[in-house]
Chain A
Amino acid sequence: DAGITQSPRHKVTETGTPVTLRCHQTENHRYMYWYRQDPGHGLRLIHYSYGVKDTDKGEVSDGYSVSRSKTEDFLLTLESATSSQTSVYFCAIGNRGGQPQHFGDGTRLSIL
C-alpha cells in the first residue's frame, strides 16, 4: 500500500469551529489532492498541490483552504465549519498532474 496517512480518521465538531485535517505521505510524490465524497456524487476535488507552497483550487473549494509547507504534508482547513461540510474527506497523491494514483483511507467528518 502507498504510504498515505490521514488524521484524524473520525471527527465530530460543531458549526462555526475551525477544523484541520492532515495528510502525510512517504512516497515523495509531487502532487497531492483533497477530495470529498458524498452520497450521489463522485469524488469531488477541493484543492490540490503541485509542489511545496504551490496550491490551486478544485471544483468545490469554497469554505476550504490548504497549505503545503513540506513535500510530505498537505493540510486541509475548514475555517468555520458548516453542516454542508459533513462528508468523508480523502487525500490522494500522484506523480502526474491531475491524475491521483493513490488514496488514503479517509477522514469521516461530522459537523453538528
Chain B
Amino acid sequence: GESVGLHLPTLSVQEGDNSIINCAYSNSASDYFIWYKQESGKGPQFIIDIRSNMDKRQGQRVTVLLNKTVKHLSLQIAATQPGDSAVYFCAENFPRGTGNQFYFGTGTSLTVIP
C-alpha cells in the first residue's frame, strides 16, 4: 500500500460528486486486494475485494479497478454522501510459502462537503 509520512493524503469532494481514491501496492506477486473504510473511533470495515485475475469489480456505489502493470488500485465511490467521510485504505495479500502475508496501506482521508 501507499507509504506516507505522519499526515494522510486527503481528498475533499462535494456531496453528490464521484470520488476516486488511489493506492499503489508493493508486490507484483500479490494476488488479492481489499479496500477498507475506517471511521473515527471504529475498526476497519470491509468494502470490496478483487482478485488479481480481474481488472474491475463493482459493488453497491463502489468500483475497484486493478492495474497490475503499474501496481495500482483505485476505489471509485459514486454519488458520494456525507456518511462516506472516513479514512480509506487498501490491503494486498502476498502469498509466501504455505501461507499469506497481508500488507495494509496508511490510507487516504475522504471528507465530503455537504
Contacts and interface: CB of A to CB of B under 8 A. Distances in A.
Contacts of A92: 43
Interface string B1-31: 1001110000000000000000000000000
Main secondary structure of the interface of A (DSSP, over half): loop
Nearest to A59: B101
- Chain B, interface size category, equals 20 to 34
A89 to B, nearest CB: 10
A37 B45 CA distance: 14
Nearest to A101: B46
Chain B interface SS verdict (over half):
strand
A96 to B, nearest CB: 8
Please tell me the size bucket of the interface on A: 20 to 34
A41 interface: yes
A42 B1 contact: yes
B100 A98 contact: yes
Interface of A: 4, 39-45, 90, 92, 96-106
Given A97-B99, A99-B100, A105-B41, 4 more contacts: A42-B106, A98-B101, A99-B32, A106-B43
